[in-house]
Structure 1
């Protein structure tokens, strides 16, 4: 009986100690609402940030739930239009921005970043196509479907007028569409040879067309680096979230999400370049 009492006592003491440690860790995290990590996100850009049955979904929502849980916090997302995200953060409407926010030198003067993601473009063709482009140079002489106004469109025009013309490989015909699904439809109907789209959007198109499309490029093209945004001065939250991200890398959750969304982890060199612009 005494032995059982001792074991029970030890278990109780361990529980109290762990509870105390968790409480201390939570107390060290400076959030707007106790026990809650408030997130500013523009929930209009699938598959990074969007709504499903009134709840935040996408890469950022998935990652933030994992990170918050490791800090003993719940998540609450404030749907905010992209142009107002930084203003909302500096005005303390939420604790952190998680909204596929590109790192730029101008933004880095206003907020602190936690770099966590590399995105950019991927190339897609019809499943089974003999045309398997890997780089932009492979697009010479081809019809390329793209979202209207995408960042890589000027680069394709420049490549066409330069490299393609100089090597007599044929010009790149860029066909711009109002949305990614419409660009994909052009590819499916063979009105285009290839689709150039955001890496995660490309994976979403492959999934939604049930494998009728395939991603052929191995590396992300025209890469950009994305970071979480934390208000300057909130050093405790910055440190806590940085630690939480590292924990997700160690336990494999982060890598699983990268694979699911066809995204990549940025290198130290790429992060440094993003800060320099």
Structure 2
């Protein structure tokens, strides 16, 4: 009986009537439950202890290689999210057009690659919104054209990265605005990467280029002797989100919590300030997911 009471005190129980066998049985059940939870957590990600992230590393300032190491806002943000989740981030360089396909095929746990939030994509994947941006227009310094809005692109060859959210919108402008004005259509030239689209512009194969605003201004700053941004403000303002598989709501919720924690700690704002980017408002997030009329 003394052993039973001592064991009860050791395990924090108030009753001396509980036997050692019962207490150890309860402890075994508790340990099994914890092990089950750890197993479930491990199965949440593609690799245990790792947050595997799909990113197109040809897209500065969002994502690029710096001495063969992933750099830019999205890799930095991915490492921050992984830290908040107690995981290690593994960045997989993947072309933009293949990111959603790779996510749905379970190649990675999330996409962090300036992925625009659209109602169409939201039917395929879940989002954790974390940035806002828009697009800009670029031409050669030697160009006589100075397009400020999409309607100015009628009759021009426009290069862009493949699967960009603005491509259907440009097509709509071409089919309606250009046609109604009696102008030639916009010839959209899609390329696997942004650098290839830029090369088409610089070589003269394209008359203009449409690109994310932050990327456009980075390009124009680095190549100010060759190209310039001609649009003012953001064209097609839009929210950017982390892409997560719809069959992993627990990971989506964990990332949302990690973002909230990073916001409260000031780490998120520090990253935004570092790259000159902005967070979306609640209304902008709501609007980005609303079906377009």
Query: TM-score, structure 1 length as denominator?
Result: 0.63
Paired position in structure 2 for 1:40 = 53
2:250 is the counterpart of 1:233:
yes
In the aligned structure 2, how far is the partner of 1:147 from the partner of 1:103?
Answer: 16
In the aligned structure 2, how far is the partner of 1:54 from the partner of 1:189?
Answer: 27
* Matched residues, number: 236
1:163 to 177, 202, 219: 177
- Output one character per residue of 1:107-144: Cα deviation in whole Å (capped at 9) or x when no partner: 76887632112344310022375643221122234443
* Structure 1 unmatched runs, 5+: 1-29
- Output one character per residue of 1:141-183: Cα deviation in whole Å (capped at 9) or x when no partner: 4443334564434433432342233334x32441515354344
In the aligned structure 2, how far is the partner of 1:142 from the partner of 1:120?
Answer: 21
In the aligned structure 2, how far is the partner of 1:250 from the partner of 1:76?
Answer: 17
Choose 52-61 or 241-250, whichever is displaced more: 241-250
**Aligned residue runs from structure 1 range 18-33, under 5 A:** none
* Structure 2 unmatched runs, 5+: 1-39
**Aligned residue runs from structure 1 range 1-277, under 5 A:** 38-47=51-60, 48-65=62-79, 71=84, 75-79=88-92, 82=99, 83-86=101-104, 88=106, 97-103=111-117, 113-127=127-141, 131-147=145-161, 150-168=164-182, 170-178=183-191, 179-229=193-243, 231-233=248-250, 235=253, 238-245=256-263, 247-248=265-266, 251-257=269-275, 259=276, 264-277=278-291
Query: TM-score, structure 2 length as denominator?
Result: 0.60
1:246/1:45 Cα in 2 relative to 1: closer, same or farther (>3 Å)?
Answer: farther
Structure showing greater Rg: 2
